[in-house]
Amino acid sequence: MFDNSLKAYEAAKKVIPGGVDSPVRAFKGVLGTPPFIDRGEGAYLFDIDDNKYLDFVQSWGPLIFGHCDKDIEDAVIKTAKKGLSFGAPTLLETQLAQEIVEMYDYLDKVRFVSSGTEAVMSAIRLARGVTKKDDILKFEGCYHGHSDSLLVQAGSGLATFGTPSSPGVPADLIKHTLICEYNNIQSLKKCFEESSDIACIIIEPIAGNMGFIPASEEFLQECRDLCDKNNALLIFDEVMTGFRVSMTGASGLTSVNADIITFGKVIGAGMPVGAFAGSSFIMDHLSPDGTVYQAGTLSGNPVAMAAGLVSLQKLKSMPSIHAELNKKALRLVEGLKKAADANNIPFVVNTRGSMFGFFFCEKEPKNFKDVASCDFDAFAKFHNEMLKKGFYFACSQYEAGFISSVMDNKMIDECIDAAKIIMKDLKNA
């Protein structure tokens, strides 16, 4: 069933560290072997063994319209025929930036980069340059890319100066990174009591990297208030949620406005791209207008801009799409929960727009510590068995799932029917 993928994985490990170019792809979180993908078509993936999977990963978010959407594909091909990269301005950059800022009352300018990691790294540098402060505050379990300052793990206590979570990251380099517990206001306040040099708070308003956990409105408001009181900037990391959970991302589901928003995923429609945006006052601190330096040879790549432009224009032309996608997401997770409940398996679910998450536990997790207490063995078994039946979920309990517009109720019901069988087997295991 996976013979070719097994051979491909062994060959890859000889020339690529771990056989993959991003660690989660190694399937270690689910004790399996990654299927090597040959192609995507609509809602489905096909691997090199020609197994077919209903895809709930969607390239980790950007493919709202599924694989090989004709409009996006045509735009990419047309643009690529003019040249893959110029290292010079194109009209597409301006057009995509205009599409983004038109959606927000408080965003005026956008700087495009090549990845979400780069977007967040640049946004933090900008916040430090604007506030003339050094410390940054992040939350345990929120992933903002692999830049050194953000590869930090929490120490003991409610709030702490972090320690490196990876070899190769000097402890001295991350001494300005403070770690708080997500959705914990006491922890948040304690960080500001410990440091008067906080330049910014960086937060996923809906965390998608410790499973799927939304921040409470009260918590986001406290972030906003503390930033205002302490001359700090609030950065929303919407690399995953931007244009996914609503037309204006997680920002559209809260009354709290961020000073800077980082984007990725959807604005490239599957192409490598990222961006960060803010008011003119903030963004004008960037070089060449200001003194905060940021650059990228392939930033604003025309092929990526073309893909993202068509994707956003399609979303704008379909004002009810996020509500429709949420109905499908609810249908899926409610069906999964009924299957678990019928077998007395602890299981909780959540959705926002076209994103969803589920955990094998009694109580809905609110932070990273809660997630760590979930049943990871049950998740791994469920994932493996669903994969064998042709359903491709994120290969880690720490990742969210995604619905695409090309999925229909019949596909979702087939997934639920498979889950009913597997949940019964889990009960008897």
Write out pLDDT tens, residues 251-303: 999 999 999 999 998 899 999 999 999 999 999 999 999 999 999 999 999 99
- Choosing from 47, 55, 69, 237, the catalytic residue is 237
Give the 3-state secondary structure of residue 240: coil
- For residue 80, give both structure tokens: 């690529």
Query: pTM of the prediction?
Result: 0.95
Q: What's the CA gap between 221 and 46, in Å, rounded?
A: 44
Topology annotation, domain 70-316:
Aspartate Aminotransferase; domain 2 (3.40.640)
Q: What's the CA gap between 12 and 260, in Å, rounded?
A: 39
User: Is 225 part of the annotated catalytic residue set?
Assistant: no
Q: What is the pLDDT of residue 156?
A: 41
Q: Tell me the per-residue pLDDT of 210-256, one tens digit each, with 9 for 90 and over.
A: 999 999 999 999 999 999 999 999 999 999 999 999 999 999 999 99
**Percent of the chain's residues with pLDDT above 90:** 86
**Contact call for residues 343 and 427 (beta carbons, < 8 A):** yes
User: Is 104 part of the annotated catalytic residue set?
Assistant: no
**Contact call for residues 233 and 257 (beta carbons, < 8 A):** no
**Contact call for residues 243 and 312 (beta carbons, < 8 A):** yes
Q: What is the pLDDT of residue 429?
A: 65
Q: Enter the DSSP assignment of 317.
A: T
Beta bridge partners of 160: 179
DSSP calls for 111-144: EEESSHHHHHHHHHHHHHHHHT--EEEEETT---
Topology annotation, domain 3-68+319-428:
Aspartate Aminotransferase, domain 1 (3.90.1150)
Q: Which of 107, 143, 112 is nearest to 252 (CA)?
A: 107
**Contact call for residues 240 and 144 (beta carbons, < 8 A):** no
pLDDT band at residue 331 using 50, 70 and 90 as cut-offs: very high
User: Is 259 part of the annotated catalytic residue set?
Assistant: no
- For residue 67, give both structure tokens: 């694989």
Q: What's the CA gap between 199 and 133, in Å, rounded?
A: 5
Q: What's the CA gap between 353 and 331, in Å, rounded?
A: 12
Place of tokens 């977007």: 119
Q: What is the pLDDT of residue 104?
A: 96
Helices 91-101 + 302-316 axis angle, to 10? 30
- Choosing from 265, 328, 337, 366, the catalytic residue is 265
Distances in Å between the alpha carbon of 205 and those of 99, 153, 256? 22, 19, 10
The mean per-residue pLDDT over the stretch 368-386 comes to 95
Q: Following CA atoms 73, 74, 79, 82 in sequence, which dihedral angle do they give, to the nearest 10 degrees?
A: 120
Q: What is the pLDDT of residue 159?
A: 46
- Choosing from 9, 44, 53, 143, the catalytic residue is 143
**Contact call for residues 414 and 422 (beta carbons, < 8 A):** no
> What are residue 179's phi and psi, to 5 degrees?
-115, 130
pLDDT at 328 over 50: yes
Ranges of each domain in the chain: 3-68+319-428, 70-316
